[in-house]
């Protein structure tokens, strides 16, 4: 018997589910309802059309309605909004937005892929003509039209997440003076503060003003003045609201489907909702965090595509479960790249999970080959077992492949010891004989194996204040360019001859530039009877964070 399948919503989740279903079942009757005009578009590419990096708007339209109908034999009802679901009758009520006509349709299986909507605070001033959000093609067109016709000179972006950073970059490239206002004390929440500080420093170098720890209060003077919660204000011709998204859950809620604490639609591992004939996927659902197993909402393209595959197979009788989402993600900020996978320190602390972390600052490829760029790489792991919890990386080159390797290692159940064993491609233009991933594994394994104890950038000041002995093993010239207050300088190459200058009744806190010489010093001192801890990431990590976070 033919299945009647209705899909609510297109783009990554709905359109991908529809095409996969057709490949699995040639006989099924598949209908997509999409309230917008466009059935499938590259929403991640929208900011880059505003700056002209992607010149041809049509390249963002991945599938046309006509093309998809012809190739996949799918009935597509765009500009048609599903208004309600009736699970007891297995039917929906929909409205043609062109004619206003209401009608019903029936299903054997219903798939919800309504996505998420931008969060916009309930502020009257945000209804002005120069205030925008960016979620779809019409949003992009409205921003483009305003930039071309109104010729704004300045912009304020409210929110320092992925969309906020991408919009800031592309507005700068379009010739605008840009400020970012972010409610928390850092940009890019998936990064921990010391890693975000690298991105913040780079944004400032590119002329973007950052206003951190402050939020929007009101918009006045015809939308040209933004009043902030601190009582200060900023002026701008254009305002972008990018403070996050909320799941489109109204259909599910009104149909009596179970929702999670943050409003996402609850699903099982096959993506069935509390009503077994209704499935849900994408940005609208509550999924599971792959690392800690807790409910999570992670609105990213890869999970939506993978969930589409699982939903289609489940409907067609194949038993595939979704194991959860790692949250692997990446953002371009001018010439800088920032990427993450797994859990950060903030998440692990909140959940009370014990962890350890290391920072390294290797080059993207062999230093003697031209063009090598530094990468700041952070690895978070279980100190007892070596299980990898997550990683973060920031740099101009090679960040993506290092995070991808670690994301793969996590999925494969590898430990920090296994990172040492990964045989990765090497030639001087591409890497080093010990890849940064290998190096992170070596440093982390030293901690797991008891070869080294570490301290972190945020612990240093209090430890020194409490009488801790801080030893800087960089050269005298390096220390002269900047050092941690209260530190004693003995260069590494002089250390063996000056052991009698060091106390044996205190733990010696060692720092160098990035952590490597500190490790070498810790091995010398520990084997000579001293108690030592090495500052992970060295002065580079400490100074970058302290530069803006006192």
Radius of gyration of the chain (CA): 26
Query: 44, 479, 483, 512: which is the annotated catalytic residue?
Result: 44
Report strand pairing: 177-182 vs 154-158: parallel
Between CA 504 and CA 340 the distance in angstroms is 40
Q: Which residues pair with 489 in a beta bridge?
A: 472
Name the residue with tokens 């305003």. Answer: 146
Exposed / middle / buried, residue 25 (Cβ in 10 Å: 0-12, 13-18, 19+):
middle
Between CA 150 and CA 223 the distance in angstroms is 13
Handedness of CA 195, 197, 202, 206 (dihedral sign): positive
CA-wise closest residue to 78 among 15, 148, 24: 15
Q: Retrieve residue 452's tokens.
A: 């080294």
Give the chain's largest Cα–Cα span.
Answer: 89
Query: Angle CA(467)–CA(471)–CA(476) in degrees, nearest 5?
Result: 135
Q: What does the DSSP assignment read for 161-187?
A: SHHHHHHHHHHHHTT-EEEEEESSSSS
CA distances to 3, 21, 105, 270, 310 from 318, in Å: 15, 12, 27, 10, 9
**CB of 328 within 8 A of CB of 303?**
no
In terms of DSSP H, where are the helices of 32-136? 46-50, 65-72
Residue 44 annotated to the active site: yes
Q: What is the DSSP letter of 471?
A: E
| Residues known to be catalytic | 44
């Amino acid at each position: 018997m033919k299945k009647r399948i209705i899909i609510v919503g297109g783009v990554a989740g709905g359109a991908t589910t529809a095409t996969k279903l057709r490949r699995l079942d040639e006989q099924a009757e598949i209908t997509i309802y999409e309230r917008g005009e466009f059935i499938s578009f590259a929403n991640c590419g929208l900011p880059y059309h505003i700056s002209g990096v992607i010149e041809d708007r049509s390249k963002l339209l991945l599938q046309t309605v006509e093309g998809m109908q012809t190739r996949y034999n799918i009935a597509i009802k765009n500009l048609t909004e599903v208004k309600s679901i009736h699970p007891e009758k297995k039917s929906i009520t929909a409205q043609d937005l062109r004619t206003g006509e209401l009608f019903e349709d029936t299903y054997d299986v219903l798939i919800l892929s309504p996505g998420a909507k931008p969060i916009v605070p309930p502020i009257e001033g945000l209804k002005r003509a120069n205030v925008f959000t960016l979620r779809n093609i019409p949003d992009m067109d409205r921003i483009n039209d305003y930039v071309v016709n109104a010729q704004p000179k300045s912009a304020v972006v409210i929110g320092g997440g992925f969309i906020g950073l991408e919009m800031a970059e592309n507005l700068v490239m379009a010739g605008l003076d840009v400020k970012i206002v972010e409610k928390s004390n850092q940009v890019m929440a998936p990064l921990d503060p010391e890693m975000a500080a690298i991105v913040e420093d780079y944004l400032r170098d590119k002329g973007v003003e950052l206003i951190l720890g402050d939020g929007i209060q009101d918009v006045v003077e015809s939308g040209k003045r933004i009043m902030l919660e601190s009582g200060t204000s900023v002026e701008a011709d254009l305002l972008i609201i990018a403070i996050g998204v909320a799941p489109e859950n109204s259909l599910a809620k009104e149909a009596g489907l179970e929702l999670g604490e943050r409003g996402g639609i609850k699903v099982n591992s096959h993506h069935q909702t509390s009503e077994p004939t209704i499935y849900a996927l994408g940005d609208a659902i509550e999924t599971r965090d792959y690392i800690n197993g807790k409910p999570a909402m992670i609105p990213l393209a890869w999970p939506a595509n993978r969930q589409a595959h699982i939903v289609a197979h489940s409907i067609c009788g194949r038993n595939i479960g979704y194991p959860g989402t790692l949250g692997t993600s990446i953002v371009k900020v001018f010439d800088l790249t920032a990427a993450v996978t797994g859990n950060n320190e903030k998440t692990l602390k909140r959940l009370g999970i014990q962890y350890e972390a290391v920072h390294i600052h290797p080059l993207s490829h062999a230093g003697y080959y031209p063009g090598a760029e530094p990468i700041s790489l952070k690895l978070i792991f279980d100190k007892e077992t070596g299980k990898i919890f997550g990683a973060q990386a920031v740099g101009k080159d090679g960040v993506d492949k290092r995070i991808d390797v670690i994301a793969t290692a996590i999925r494969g159940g590898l430990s920090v010891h296994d990172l040492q064993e990964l045989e990765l491609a090497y030639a001087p233009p591409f890497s080093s004989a010990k890849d940064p991933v290998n190096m992170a594994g070596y440093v982390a394994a030293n901690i797991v194996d008891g070869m080294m104890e570490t301290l972190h950038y945020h612990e240093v000041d209090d430890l020194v204040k409490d009488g801790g002995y801080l030893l800087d093993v960089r050269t005298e010239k390096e220390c002269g360019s900047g050092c941690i207050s209260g530190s004693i300088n003995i260069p590494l190459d002089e250390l063996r001859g000056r052991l009698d200058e060091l106390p044996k009744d205190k733990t010696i806190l060692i720092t160098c530039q990035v952590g490597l010489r500190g490790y070498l010093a810790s091995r010398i001192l520990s084997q000579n009877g001293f108690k030592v801890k090495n500052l992970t990431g060295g002065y580079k990590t400490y100074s970058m964070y302290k530069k803006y976070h006192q």
